Structure 1
């Protein structure tokens, strides 16, 4: 009994000591984290809201899901200062607001349709912003290739050349190359850093440049001549893309005008005969006609955009 009591007391003391050490470590870590957040908030090169983003708890939960990770990657490609949690809340709030407005101004049947259009519009805006950023990045690729060629010809390593290009180029190329340089600084390989850049901003031109740099890094040879030729090719593709985009601008506008004309017709009809939308959507056939009409407008928009999409 005496030995059992001694072992019990000893185990209790050890558990108590571990508990005290755990509480002390937790308190110390929390204090250090708070001090780090305060230093980052006071830094002149960072915005004052660092570490105090809205909907932080929802954002952490959302990032653990597959949808959240995909949304985070898409937001990173757009360059917007918005977290997945903020985007989710803003989109949900906008959809709810349009639901109420459409139900009050048009008819109750149009509420869910307006909410779906709001969600589609939010993701369409992300795709547009992403494509816009990709276009800007593609326009900077000839200059990027030229800087890398000059730096390589001067005897600089590829890592140093990428860091120098990140400092000299403007956004978005400068920001994206800064991310690549940061990953290289913490131990990532050139293949991983450049591969993530190609996944974040997918384009044929960037894939060619990334492939050239990765192969040159693996082979260990000079890439000056390859980058010189690539610079000239990128300049020619840039001019060709500009001409194609100018020729197809009218078709692109038509794709957006046609659905807007349909919505405007509905609003005009309800303005001329007040309550006509309520009467039309109160029956099954009226609701079916509205759904079919919106579906046809959507198919027309998709087909026009598809036919006007030419990969150069």
Structure 2
């Protein structure tokens, strides 16, 4: 201990402190300027510049790809809308075969004409037996030939389209679950064609049969709106067509479509509920004259038979019937809502 104290004289201690300070200062300088001296800072700067340039290039490429895909989707939508406008224009002039097909009837034109002739003969015979008036008989024959068959066809067609819209969201949900499970779209459509309710079952079976004949799946589904002229069928055809040409997540797109279909269905239900009061009032107003005529025919038959036995009464009946028909059509137009 005495030797160490003798060694650490004031001069030696000063030198040691100076050396330690010099080493410390040198270490600090080395730590501060080592990246510049070794070139590491320049290398890191170049790497950052290259990375930022790559990021910029990737972002620009992604933006170009997104713009290209967006433009492609827009072009496809415009093309599809133009095609649908042509179909809608043709839909206003549907042939009898198309109406029968949309109504789900397997009749031919000849069968429909035979049905119209039978209705005309039955109503004409009924009018002749009840009234004995040729005017009433002719009017009932005209109604039987042109009114009853077309009314029946339109009602069947409307009910079938309503059943299609009611079941379509469930069919789309089946397809969504199948695609999420890894099944191809064609197999999912086959499942719907085998398990769904009518008329979804028959319509999707047609898609499967068209695909089996060599038609692509997108083209087969694109024919669905011509058989079911509703916006929901157009939505399904658009989604499948865009996905087949542009790619993307089919399950996500169909999931969004299913959500839209269910929201539209709920909105239609609200509209029907809110318009039910007006429809009930129109039904009561339209049925009152017929109820009054029926009651008077039972209570005072001689009073009412003048309308059917006298020529002037026949004119009154025909004129009143035309006015009633005009009023019923106007009320129907007022309470009809386009969905």
Task: Provide TM-score, normalisation by structure 2.
Answer: 0.63
Q: Distance in 1 between matches of 2:218 and 2:302?
A: 63
Match of residue 326 from structure 2: 299
Match of residue 93 from structure 1: 118
Q: Distance in 1 between matches of 2:255 and 2:197?
A: 21
Number of matched pairs:
241
SS at match of 2:249: coil
Answering whether residue 307 of structure 2 is matched by residue 277 of structure 1, we say: yes
Distance 1:265 1:111, change over 3 A: farther
Match of residue 308 from structure 1: 335
1:184 to 211, 215, 218: 211
Q: Which runs of 4+ in 1 moved over 6 A?
A: none
Equivalences for 1:11-90 in 2 at 5 Å? Answer: 70-90=95-115
1:203 to 217, 230, 234: 230
Q: Distance in 2 between matches of 1:108 and 1:251?
A: 38
**Residues 258, 297 of structure 1: 8 Å contact kept:** no
Q: What's the CA shift string for 1:100-136, capped at 9, x where partnerless?
A: 2112212221112212322312211221121111111
Q: Which moved more, 1:296-305 or 1:81-90?
A: 81-90
- The structural deviation recorded for 1:302 is 1.5
SS at match of 2:96: helix
Q: What's the CA shift string for 1:37-96, capped at 9, x where partnerless?
A: xxxxxxxxxxxxxxxxxxxxxxxxxxxxxxxx8222222222234343222212211111
Q: Distance in 1 between matches of 2:270 and 2:230?
A: 18
SS at match of 1:188: coil
Q: What's the CA shift string for 1:202-248, capped at 9, x where partnerless?
A: 11222212221122222233322121111112112212212322333
SS at match of 2:252: helix
Match of residue 137 from structure 2: 111
- The structural deviation recorded for 1:192 is 4.1
Unmatched runs of 5 consecutive residues or more in structure 1: 1-68
**Residues 307, 314 of structure 2: 8 Å contact kept:** no
Match of residue 172 from structure 2: 145
Q: Computing the radius of gyration over CA atoms, which structure comes out larger, 1 or 2?
A: 2
Q: Distance in 2 between matches of 1:275 and 1:297?
A: 20
Unmatched runs of 5 consecutive residues or more in structure 2: 1-93
**Residues 180, 193 of structure 1: 8 Å contact kept:** yes
Q: Distance in 2 between matches of 1:289 and 1:82?
A: 39
Distance 1:91 1:253, change over 3 A: farther
Cα RMSD, aligned residues only: 2.5
Q: What's the CA shift string for 1:3-43, capped at 9, x where partnerless?
A: xxxxxxxxxxxxxxxxxxxxxxxxxxxxxxxxxxxxxxxxx
**Residues 152, 224 of structure 1: 8 Å contact kept:** yes
- The structural deviation recorded for 1:256 is 4.8
Distance 1:128 1:158, change over 3 A: same
